[in-house]
């Protein structure tokens, strides 16, 4: 009986219905003049934005604006706490990228860059500097920090970095 039903294309439970099994499901009729899905989305998005206040600085843990290692390595603490990671925490503070070209060149000279075969030249040449992103500059600076760590020169580098004013640093988004 079921086989006959399928071959005849009928549906129903033997009630004599002549509907085909492949007929489409009913769809709602489109109505004009109603709000569109985009308008609903915009309204929901607006309500969600109103639910959250703008981000404000924390009063519990204020951001440090100092450029030295004082809060990371208090005086009298062992120097073994000074490592490339700690120095990069200082270097990234306030969204810093790297020292400005003149300061970076001075650091390179301080580290004896001309006499060091494995110390990469900083990318301070104008033709190169303008083509590197902030992240690429930061990674190049990290190479110098890691070099200083491998060669026991982190203390010199930390002292130099601590002497830089905030304006001596390139920050993310600077040109």
Alpha helices in the chain, H assignment, sequence order: 2-8, 37-51, 84-92, 101-110, 126-129, 134-150, 154-163
Question: CB–CB of 141/99 below 8 Å?
Answer: yes
Structure-token pair, residue 29: 């009729």
Q: What is the pLDDT along the chain (175 residues), one digit of tens a residue?
A: 455 545 555 545 555 555 566 667 666 665 555 567 778 778 888 887 777 766 666 666 555 545 455 555 545 555 667 889 999 999 999 999 999 999 999 999 998 877 877 888 888 888 888 889 989 999 999 999 999 999 988 999 999 999 999 999 999 888 6
Number of Cβ within 10 Å of residue 153's Cβ equals 19
Please state the three-class secondary structure of 106-142 as a single string: HHHHHCCHHHCCCCCCCCCCHHHHCCCCHHHHHHHHH
Domains in the chain: boundaries: 79-171
Q: Whole-model pTM? A: 0.58
| CA angle in degrees (0–180, nearest 5) for 168-171-175 | 95
pLDDT at 70: 53
Structure-token pair, residue 38: 């985009």
């Amino acid at each position: 009986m079921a086989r006959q039903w399928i071959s005849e294309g009928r549906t129903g439970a033997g009630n004599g219905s002549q509907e085909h099994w492949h007929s489409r499901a009913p769809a709602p009729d489109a109505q004009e003049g109603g709000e569109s899905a985009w308008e609903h989305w915009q309204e929901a998005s607006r309500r969600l934005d109103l639910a959250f206040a703008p981000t404000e600085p924390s009063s519990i843990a204020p951001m440090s604006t100092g450029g030295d290692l004082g809060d990371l390595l208090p005086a009298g603490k062992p120097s073994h706490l000074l490592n490339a990671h700690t120095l990069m925490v200082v270097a990234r503070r306030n969204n810093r990228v790297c020292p400005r070209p003149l300061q970076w060149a001075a650091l390179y000279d301080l580290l004896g860059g001309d006499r060091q075969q494995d110390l990469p030249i900083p990318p301070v040449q104008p033709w190169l500097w303008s083509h590197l992103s902030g992240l690429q500059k930061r990674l190049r600076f990290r190479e110098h920090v890691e070099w200083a760590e491998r060669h026991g020169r982190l203390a010199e580098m930390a002292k130099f970095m601590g002497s830089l004013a905030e304006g001596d640093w390139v920050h993310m988004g600077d040109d």
